[in-house]
Amino acid sequence: MKPRLSVVVPFYNVGEYIGDCLDSIARQTWADFEAILVDDGSFDDSAVVAKEFCTKDSRFHLVQQDNAGLGPARNTGVDHASGEYVAFVDSDDLVTRHGFGLLVRTLDRTGSDFAGGNARRFNNSYGVRPSYLQRQCFTRDRFATHVSETPELVLDRMVWNKVYRRSFWNEYGYRFPAIRYEDYPVTLKAHLDAVTVDTLAAPVYFWRERESGDSITQQKFQLANIRDRVVSAGLVMDLADRALPSIRQRLHAHFTQIDLPAMLSAFGMVPAEEEQQLLGLTHELLDRLDQPALDEAPRFDRLQFAALRAGDVELLRRLAQYRSDGGPVGDVRAVRRSRSWQLDYPGAREAAVPQELYQASDDDLTLATTVREVAWVDGKLSVQGTAEIRHLATKRSSSLRIALVIAGRSYPLRVRRYPMTDLQGDAALVGFEVLLGRELLAKCTAGPAHFDVRMRSGRVRRRDTLRGQGPGSPGWPPGAWIDETNWIQPGPGKDGAFAVRRLSDPCRLTSVEQTPAALVLHGRSSFEQPSLFVTRPVSGGEEAVPLEVDGRDFTARLPIRPIIEETNPDDPFTQRTTRAFRLRGREGEEQLLLWTAGDRLISRAEGGRAVMLTRSTGGYVNLHESPIRTTATAAVAAGNMLMVRGPDWGDVEFAWRRYLPNSDDHIDVDCRQTISDDGWAAAVDLDALIPAESAEDWILFATKPDGTSHAVQCEPFLSSRLPLTISRGAHVLAVRPHAGTLHVEVR
């Protein structure tokens, strides 16, 4: 009997990764599939791993061919597939346990030609984080839509986060070209050919970003890679020529914003003998792009475009190096000349480009804000960040006003200003702190109150909402009681603004006990006779938890062993499953359970797996179950030492690790570690992390006795207390979380 789904997995020399990839496919809740494994001439042990899977699981089949490239290997896989539906998985990536099932069931219900879902990027250093383009295309569930009515689908470049109806695939005879970036020509044509498509916001695919930078998409500065990128873009623009004008415009804008600037960045890295070839390739793409799209690009990009047209390789090199060295995109200094502003681009020679590219309009001088740290200080909410007008030096004569806007009414705040590093990398008066007292916070409502920021520098005045939350406490802002019944929770508001909400008498967890067999949860409900449900936000479903209720107070016993034994993780990389808690009343009223049970997680390790009760980014109760991964719960600096602590879950050695550019090679600085009843402690001399010249990023790694290592996880309550900023001479070290792992940035 033919399987309903065929999964095509081409592979070439991925022995280090293919086992995890195939294991994630085998774990699918959708069991009615075949996996066609196409060996594209591997000469490592990839085929050995693939054959082992085929031996132990009859759903896996191996096809071998001489090396022809990813596109032809995918074509071979489709030729051998027999399913009603077809999907593609790259051999170093992972699929979520529920992904294929979600996509197939959606297609069964809607009859669409194909369905796609959201994706995540991951690696061992930075953990799991959203994938930029997929985050834009798959923001919400849409059924029976089309690229003509959902124009952001023009940006949907990848083939691997989808399930296609095989009859649709055969009808249009899709074949992948023998180039890199082979996905986009096929994906866009499918969007144009389809009658309807479905999009799901749930993540169905995990896209690996290798530390070595040796995946196809990470080799973007190699000349052969750039050549294929231009060919792929040409094929895609040929399709757009026959599409609706709105699709063509969106596509040309996308190539102008993403592909062309990425290719121009290569001028800072390619050897001199390849510069003329690079000039020709980038010029080829530039010539295909519509002028209106080029005119809408940032001024810095347009300067590069003009240098490209002029053939000024020296200027292109200088501008590319400026960008790669951390020069902010478009954030160059503006100087007042007569009645207009002129932008001062480092290294630019005005003779090579039109003079108008140096002229800055008022629209270029926008307000830039960030949130750097959120904390409670003596009962007041402290918000620290930066504010500056782009392109202008922030002088002491400038003024900054910040107000909290609650239900349309503005409440001015006292602003403390101090020097910080500005967008140019210079020390300037851009830092600020505002303190919000309990009397003002009590005026807040359940709707988000935002911060109105107004800045004046000379004659230039700008206004915007406070936004730009950084890692650490801005992403995990701590909440607090301002009286017996009102809780204040900072966090994200509308359109990315930083906001404050007041929760009046919320359903909350007040304390937790641990027994040998269970976690005992104590809490208080906002309504009488509540019921408690545990839900899985990623994969769906809920399970009732028995409650002992006394009025609005409740107690729930959560047995640990059934949670550990149910090893069907939602996250295929960390092997972690997240559960949330929801209280429901007799009248159908419902609330998530807020964490008010102190500032430390509750954890239990058993049988190689760990259960952690902690908080979400919004302050609600989460239960995480995963294999044991070393977790940091505290970080302190004392003298010249940085000390990190966490629960002792096994024998590991600690080191701060820095990866060399585009390489799996790394430098480790070993820690001095101790073990006590409170857990492990790893200490490092801060001077050992300070570089001789450039800035560095260090990641705390734990290595097991068998030599395997993983980045240490940063527990949410620790994230809410970070960043920890340390000054050492001319350097500043910042301890921050990034995508759930612990880092030290040295600048």
Residues 373 and 355 in one domain: no
Nearest CA among 436, 567, 533, 410 for reference residue 490: 436
Please state the rounded mean pLDDT for residues 425-444.
95
- The residue among 301, 332, 364 that closes a domain is 364
Range of the structural domain that residue 569 is part of: 508-627
- 450: amino acid identity, one letter: H
pLDDT band at residue 692 using 50, 70 and 90 as cut-offs:
low
- 360: amino acid identity, one letter: A
Cβ proximity of 252 and 188 under 8 Å: no
- What's the rounded Cα separation, in Å, for the pair 86 and 78? 8
Residues 611 and 673 in one domain: no
| pLDDT for res 333 | 72
Residue 441, pLDDT above cutoff 90: yes
**Mean of the per-residue pLDDT values of the chain:** 90
Q: Is 317 helix (H, G, I), strand (E, B) or coil?
A: helix
Strands 609-615 and 621-627, bridge-based pairing:
antiparallel
Residues 644 and 610 in one domain: no
Q: Identify the top-confidence range among 56-65, 417-426, 723-732.
A: 56-65
- What's the rounded Cα separation, in Å, for the pair 182 and 175? 9
Residue 212, pLDDT above cutoff 70: no
Residues 566 and 686 in one domain: no
| pLDDT for res 218 | 40
- What's the rounded Cα separation, in Å, for the pair 105 and 204? 13
Q: Is 363 exposed, middle or buried (0-12, 13-18, 19+ CB in 10 A)?
A: exposed
Structure tokens at 666: 């790394």
- Residue 430 makes CB contacts below 8 A (sequence gap 6+) with 386, 387, 388, 394, 419, 420, 421, 422
Residue 233, pLDDT above cutoff 50: yes
Q: Distance of alpha carbon 126 from its chain centroid, rounded?
A: 9
- What's the rounded Cα separation, in Å, for the pair 531 and 525? 9
| pLDDT for res 350 | 54
Q: 290-318 pLDDT, tens per residue?
A: 999 999 998 888 889 999 998 989 889 88
- What's the rounded Cα separation, in Å, for the pair 744 and 724? 9
| pLDDT for res 424 | 81
Please state the rounded mean pLDDT for residues 446-459.
94
| pLDDT for res 338 | 58
Please state the rounded mean pLDDT for residues 237-265.
93
Residues 598 and 460 in one domain: no
pLDDT band at residue 217 using 50, 70 and 90 as cut-offs:
very low
Domain of residue 46, CATH code:
3.90.550.10
Residues 204 and 262 in one domain: no
- The residue among 171, 197, 216 that closes a domain is 216
Q: 262-290 pLDDT, tens per residue?
A: 999 999 888 889 999 999 999 999 999 99
- What's the rounded Cα separation, in Å, for the pair 450 and 465? 7
Q: Is 261 helix (H, G, I), strand (E, B) or coil?
A: helix
Percentage of residues in the chain having pLDDT higher than 90: 70
Residues 250 and 165 in one domain: no
Q: 468-496 pLDDT, tens per residue?
A: 999 999 999 999 999 999 999 999 998 88
Strands (E), 515-640: 518-524, 531-535, 542-545, 547-550, 553-559, 577-584, 590-592, 594-595, 602-606, 609-615, 621-627, 631-632, 634-638
Q: Is 661 helix (H, G, I), strand (E, B) or coil?
A: coil
Domain of residue 375, CATH code:
2.60.40.10
- What's the rounded Cα separation, in Å, for the pair 49 and 35? 14
- What's the rounded Cα separation, in Å, for the pair 374 and 422? 19
Q: 372-397 pLDDT, tens per residue?
A: 999 999 999 999 999 999 988 898 89
Q: 44-96 pLDDT, tens per residue?
A: 999 999 999 999 999 999 999 999 999 999 999 999 999 999 999 999 999 99
Domain of residue 686, CATH code:
2.60.40
Residues 420 and 521 in one domain: no
Place of tokens 């030096």: 393
| pLDDT for res 348 | 60
* Between residues 348 and 676, the one the model is more confident about: 676
pLDDT band at residue 15 using 50, 70 and 90 as cut-offs:
very high
* Dihedral, CA of residue 175, residue 176, residue 177 and residue 178, to nearest 10: -120
Domain tally for the chain? 5
- Residue 468 makes CB contacts below 8 A (sequence gap 6+) with 368, 369, 370, 371, 385, 496, 498
Q: 553-596 pLDDT, tens per residue?
A: 999 999 988 888 776 788 888 888 899 999 999 888 999 999 99
Residues 13 and 129 in one domain: yes
Residue 98, pLDDT above cutoff 60: yes
Q: Is 495 exposed, middle or buried (0-12, 13-18, 19+ CB in 10 A)?
A: exposed
- What's the rounded Cα separation, in Å, for the pair 660 and 711? 16
Bridge partners of residue 417, in order along the sequence = 432
Residues 94 and 183 in one domain: yes
What are phi and psi for residue 310, nearest 5 degrees?
A: -80, -10
- The residue among 599, 627, 655 that closes a domain is 627
| pLDDT for res 166 | 97
Residue 216, pLDDT above cutoff 50: no
Nearest CA among 82, 102, 58, 235 for reference residue 157: 235
Residues 590 and 601 in one domain: yes
Residues 21 and 144 in one domain: yes
Bridge partners of residue 421, in order along the sequence = 427
| pLDDT for res 215 | 43
- What's the rounded Cα separation, in Å, for the pair 173 and 154? 21
